[in-house]
């Protein structure tokens, strides 16, 4: 339950504003452990908060962590149970391989396991041809998806990350965004966290056995998945994910000769420094005095955010609600009826839709933000700030 702590109120025109005193102390950013990487980031999964960064927006070559995009597009295609007939082109891919044969038939899901666990470049091309209709068509899909999820400093030229194109790059930040997106998919989570996968082999009595190259799954008790990468030009790249209780993290390092240790150090530092705090609990908001809203407004979901002990005192919330009828009774309440904005040291860190109890409908996370953007411009508002 959320309680609004009110100090004073003034009625001006059509808007009611209630304010409270705000702490004057400034946020102190926690200092991370440092890494050997040229580019690095540590991001919290639920909120997307960046807990640590080093040249995180610098465009760099990324090697096989490219395959995270290839995997999620394959999963989202709805074709995972389809059988792929391998063409000549996958056999021409250099480097890591699951040793496909021309004309071989293999289920797309097994190709994705071979892609993620063994980093098969031949698997990447076979996936691209089946899902995209052609390698070039799939690359177009990759860049469309990158734009869709906000990867502003990324361009893909192939599905595997080999250095066969000059124009193939991303940033640590963009790869964290991609991983955060992919980790919302249950099938991706399962695949990336699998240590060993057995795949039937067309025309053979024995199966292919894929053992995951991501040593974090063996080395670190909280590891949940990720993707390794290496080329001569990109050097070592690594994306890894970890979860301790409900606290989930994403680490990305680019050009890092000590990536295993750097990722473990980043994770341990974050788990020791931050707590995942439920700033807003899903349910009724107490403290609203207007009869149209009193004990009738609920938050659509719980809002979690990683905070240091010092930051807890710097959080405040602002509620904006549609102006109610003069008699205080709705014939049909709008849905949503308003929004709750969460601030950390006067910086907005999140928003939640608000509903009159009994009118709440489930909203996909992707629709929250589009709904909220239009509320202020469509209605007169009551604004409440509380800490």
Reference 337, options 359, 308, 318; nearest CA is: 359
For the segment 39-58, the average pLDDT, to the nearest whole number, is: 97
Per the listing, tokens 């096989």 go with 64
Q: Which of 21, 26, 54, 67 is catalytic?
A: 67
pLDDT at 132: 98
Q: Could you tell me what percent of the chain has a pLDDT over 70? A: 85
Tokens of 277: 């705090």
State how far the Cα of 74 lies from the Cα of 52, in Å rounded to an integer.
31
pLDDT at 332: 81
Residue 116 pLDDT more than 50?
Answer: yes
Domains belonging to the chain, first-starting first, are: 2-26+277-386 (2.30.140.30), 58-238 (3.40.710.10)
- Average pLDDT value for the chain: 87
Q: Which of 64, 96, 170, 240 is catalytic?
A: 64
Cβ atoms 223, 216 nearer than 8 A:
yes
User: Does the active-site annotation cover 64?
Assistant: yes
pLDDT at 319: 92
**H-type alpha helices, 213-307:** 216-219, 259-273
Contacts of 161 (CB under 8 A, 6+ apart): 61, 62, 63, 64, 65, 66, 67, 168, 229, 231, 234
pLDDT at 174: 98
Q: Which of 54, 96, 119, 170 is catalytic?
A: 119
Q: Which residue has the higher pLDDT, 13 or 218?
A: 218
Q: What is the pLDDT of residues 117-143, one digit of tens each?
A: 999 999 999 999 999 999 999 999 999
State how far the Cα of 184 lies from the Cα of 321, in Å rounded to an integer.
30
Q: What is the pLDDT of residues 163-195, one digit of tens each?
A: 999 999 999 999 999 999 999 999 999 999 999
Tokens of 143: 């860049």
pLDDT at 8: 26
E strand residue ranges, the chain: 2-3, 8-12, 15-19, 39-44, 50-54, 83-85, 105-107, 196-199, 208-211, 223-231, 235-244, 247-254, 275-280, 283-286, 297-299, 303-307, 315-322, 338-344, 347-356, 381-386
pLDDT at 346: 87
State how far the Cα of 83 lies from the Cα of 110, in Å rounded to an integer.
10
pLDDT at 289: 82
* 361 pLDDT tier (thresholds 50, 70, 90): low
pLDDT at 171: 98
* 360 pLDDT tier (thresholds 50, 70, 90): low
């Amino acid at each position: 339950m959320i309680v609004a702590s009110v100090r004073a109120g003034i009625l001006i025109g059509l808007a009611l504003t209630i304010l409270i005193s705000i702490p004057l102390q400034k946020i102190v950013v926690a200092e991370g452990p440092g890494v050997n990487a040229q580019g690095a980031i540590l991001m919290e999964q639920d909120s997307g908060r960046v807990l640590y960064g080093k040249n995180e927006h610098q465009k760099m070559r990324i090697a096989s962590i490219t395959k995270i995009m290839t995997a999620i597009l394959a999963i989202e295609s709805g074709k995972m149970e389809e059988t792929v007939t391998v063409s000549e082109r996958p056999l021409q891919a250099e480097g890591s391989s699951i040793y496909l044969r021309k004309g071989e038939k293999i289920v797309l899901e097994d190709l994705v396991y071979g892609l993620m666990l063994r980093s098969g470049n031949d698997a990447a091309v076979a996936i691209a041809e089946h899902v995209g209709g052609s390698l070039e068509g799939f690359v177009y899909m990759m860049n469309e998806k990158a734009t869709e999820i906000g990867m502003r400093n990324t361009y893909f030229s192939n599905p595997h990350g080999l250095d066969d194109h000059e124009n193939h790059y991303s940033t640590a930040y963009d790869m964290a965004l991609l991983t955060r997106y992919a980790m919302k998919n249950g099938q991706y989570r399962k695949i990336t966290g699998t240590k060993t996968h057995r795949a039937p082999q067309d025309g053979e009595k024995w199966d292919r056995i894929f053992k995951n190259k991501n040593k974090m799954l063996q080395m670190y008790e909280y590891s949940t998945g990720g993707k390794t990468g290496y080329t001569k030009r990109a050097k070592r790249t690594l994306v890894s994910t970890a979860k301790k209780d409900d606290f989930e993290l994403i680490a990305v390092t680019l050009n890092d000769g000590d990536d295993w240790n750097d990722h473990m150090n980043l994770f341990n530092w974050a788990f020791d420094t931050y707590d995942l705090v439920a700033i807003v609990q899903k349910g009724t908001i107490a403290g609203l005095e207007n009869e149209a809203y009193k004990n009738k407004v609920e938050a659509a979901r719980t809002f979690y955010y990683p905070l240091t002990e010092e930051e807890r005192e710097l959080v405040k919330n602002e509620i904006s609600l549609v102006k109610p009828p003069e008699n205080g009774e709705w014939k049909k309440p709008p849905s949503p009826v308003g929004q709750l904005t969460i601030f950390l040291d006067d910086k907005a860190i999140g928003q939640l839709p608000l509903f009159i109890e009994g009118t709440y409908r489930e909203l996909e996370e992707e629709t929250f933000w589009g709904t909220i953007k239009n509320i202020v411009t469509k209605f007169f508002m009551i604004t409440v700030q509380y800490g």
